[in-house]
Amino acid sequence: MDFATNPLPLMTLLLACAVLTTASCVAFIGTGYHYQRIVEQFQDISGVFDLGIDDDPAALQRKLRQVRASEGQAALVIRALNCFYAAITGFGLSSLITLLSAVLVFSRLEHAVLFCFATALIIDAFGALAMIGGATMLFREARFAFRAFQEKSGFFTQQARQIVLRNSELSPDR
């Protein structure tokens, strides 16, 4: 392949690296905000223990389950962040190698250009796999969060039913 007469493959690879780097950064920023929310949720839960309220053993067990759930969520989000870090690094490195390929085209070092091009493609593949890995971690974390939400929802529904039942028993209308 003569890159001097047809620079389209190098330009396409460079553009793909730029787009994928941007996508990785957006995913990373969104995941960072998500991690921040998990930390805030954990602080809210642990604040209950600091205040010494909820001495009811069942309530304490529920809080401990929430703490464990927050730990699990945080671990998955951290793994997703690491995947997105790897993707950003890979796509950035691939961009630099592709730029080096473009410079080598003018030096007429065809084998070096092909080597750089192939290396950039391999690094891009690893970056894409890292993005898929990060997205998979976020998918698992979302399922985890939904189960925790269902548990909290069930608890609040049960509490509301008990309050309604208690109020109806105390009502003088009966």
Specify the amino acid at residue 52.
G
DSSP 52: T
Q: Is the dihedral of CA 93, 95, 98, 103 positive or negative?
A: negative
pTM (2 d.p.): 0.72
Residue 134 has phi, psi (to 5 degrees) of -65, -45
For the stretch 137-167, pLDDT in tens is: 989 888 888 887 888 788 778 878 888 888 8
Predicted local confidence at residue 7, as pLDDT: 67
State the CB neighbour count (10 A cutoff) for residue 155: 14
Predicted local confidence at residue 5, as pLDDT: 65
Average predicted confidence (pLDDT) for the chain: 81
More confident residue, 132 or 66: 132
Rounded CA gap, 96 and 90, in Å?
A: 10
CA nearest neighbour of 48 among 63, 36, 38: 63
For the stretch 54-94, pLDDT in tens is: 567 777 777 777 778 888 888 888 999 999 899 999 988 98
Predicted local confidence at residue 48, as pLDDT: 63
Rounded CA gap, 129 and 141, in Å?
A: 18
Does the pLDDT value for residue 4 go beyond 60? no
Averaged pLDDT for residues 8-28 = 78
- Domain edges within the chain: 8-170
Contact in structure between 86 and 132 (CB atoms under 8 Å): no
- Whose structure tokens read 């998500």? 34
CA nearest neighbour of 31 among 97, 77, 70, 67: 77
Query: Which of 12-16, 37-41, 52-56 tops mean pLDDT?
Result: 37-41
